Structure 1
């Protein structure tokens, strides 16, 4: 079951200095009295909700995401988005000179493509309109386990950036698949998406009716999530076609998986 833990920040220190958001590694105290190491971001409430809602969708379809927190800093009177700090490095950190060494980059992406969750993640990103799945937003244990992070740039936000599916775009750019290979990859994504719950938007929204145990906060979260649920439902019905759109313009792939 998906949960959002309310937490109090005990101490924090800058974690990513060059970031669009203020990011911290922190020790937080959860409601049950347990201390946890968390990664915090100071972002606006709408982006916090997108993070939570996307993580909830991922949880429903079986994709790995860290535990989610809403953390309070009483000394600053600020609220932070938080997730469990995972010791895995991000995927990009395993490889150097990625832009200049195409061979290394190809080897890197082949490892990612061989992960059993690749197809589902491509479909998931298409569903939530995630425009920010670069290789730094995947954590990897160096073997066969990945964790998905950073889902603030989803559901059409920010509006100034065009819609894209970076995981699929990277696949086409790095591995340069033939049309047959690309069609096979897209069919694989369509097949994985075909087992998503038909009432996924309703089930996900339902989670937010009493998620934190704080009645006023749950109302705020629920009302914001209703907007995202509407977008999710619209995308769900046309997901096979949205995935097919990644074929070259003169080719179509509307076959059901």
Structure 2
């Protein structure tokens, strides 16, 4: 699994999503031009984005291909565009809606996400990479196909207080199915995938690869800890 390197051809408009103000651009990779979403990020975050995208793709999750862009001596992160909107855009979910409408649309969005066959695996992998970046704006969905994007705040770069996929499972009323599926996925992940990432000669991903490999062995227990257990459900609350 080799991370490809490209060059920036031209810049387009900002997408309006995300903290880092990504923008659409044309990039050239291996002599072919692509539409991409490009981000200017600190190097550790660029590397985290690349590693997360590659391992998720290696484990069969739909994630756009990551590309490293060399621009004026700086590494930029690019994600090849898949051509469909994020889930919030697709559903028209935004802060200006009445609160009741926001609640209904959020629950509907949760039911959509939890209906995807690979959602339990995504939950397990989010736990593995300590994904603090998951929200309804970084699922892409065109009504049929979907993809997972944006993995800046992962791999120890930000506190991972909640697994948002578990929160969505609770909203959708699918905690039991997601729990069993996620634990099974955690046990089944191919442990060789992280070490198969090939990076350019002057880029070192080894720290993040070791981070993931270390967490793989304890992943099933970490996934279980995110779900309410019988003792929690029947505990007497003050």
Whether the TM-score (by the shorter chain) exceeds 0.5 is yes
Contact map agreement 2:56 2:62 (CA 8 A) in 1: yes
Q: CA deviation at 1:107?
A: 2.3
**Equivalent residue, structure 1, for 2:89:** 93
Q: CA deviation at 1:155?
A: 1.1
Is 1:12 aligned with 2:6? no
Q: Deviations over 1:41-79 (max 9, x none)?
A: 0001111111111111112211111111111334xx543
Cα 1:45/1:109, change in 2 over 3 Å: same
Is 1:204 aligned with 2:194? yes
**Equivalent residue, structure 2, for 1:23:** 22
Q: CA deviation at 1:142?
A: 0.7
Q: In the aligned structure 1, how far is the partner of 2:64 from the partner of 2:93?
A: 28
Contact map agreement 1:3 1:68 (CA 8 A) in 2: no
Contact map agreement 1:138 1:146 (CA 8 A) in 2: yes
Contact map agreement 1:112 1:118 (CA 8 A) in 2: yes
Is 1:155 aligned with 2:155? yes
Contact map agreement 1:41 1:80 (CA 8 A) in 2: yes
Q: CA deviation at 1:196?
A: 0.8
Q: Deviations over 1:130-152 (max 9, x none)?
A: 01110111111212x21111111
Cα 1:230/1:3, change in 2 over 3 Å: closer
Q: Of 42, 45, 55, which aligns to 1:44? A: 42
**Equivalent residue, structure 2, for 1:81:** 77
- What does 1:1-257 align with in structure 2 at a 5 Å threshold? 2-17=1-16, 19-30=18-29, 32-74=30-72, 77-97=73-93, 100-101=100-101, 102-143=103-144, 145-158=145-158, 161-172=159-170, 174-175=171-172, 177=173, 182-197=175-190, 199-200=191-192, 203-208=193-198, 211-212=199-200, 215=201, 217=202, 220-221=203-204, 225-248=205-228, 251=231
Please tell me the root mean square deviation across aligned C-alpha atoms, in Å: 2.1
Q: In the aligned structure 2, how far is the partner of 1:14 from the partner of 1:248?
A: 43
Contact map agreement 2:155 2:211 (CA 8 A) in 1: yes
Q: In the aligned structure 2, how far is the partner of 1:97 from the partner of 1:26?
A: 26
Q: CA deviation at 1:97?
A: 4.5
Cα 1:91/1:18, change in 2 over 3 Å: closer
Contact map agreement 2:194 2:213 (CA 8 A) in 1: no
Structure 1: stretches of 5+ with no match in the other structure: 253-257
Q: Secondary structure at the match of 2:188?
A: coil
Q: In the aligned structure 1, how far is the partner of 2:178 from the partner of 2:13?
A: 39
Q: In the aligned structure 2, how far is the partner of 1:18 from the partner of 1:184?
A: 31
Report how many aligned residue pairs link the two structures: 227
TM-score, reference length from structure 1? 0.80
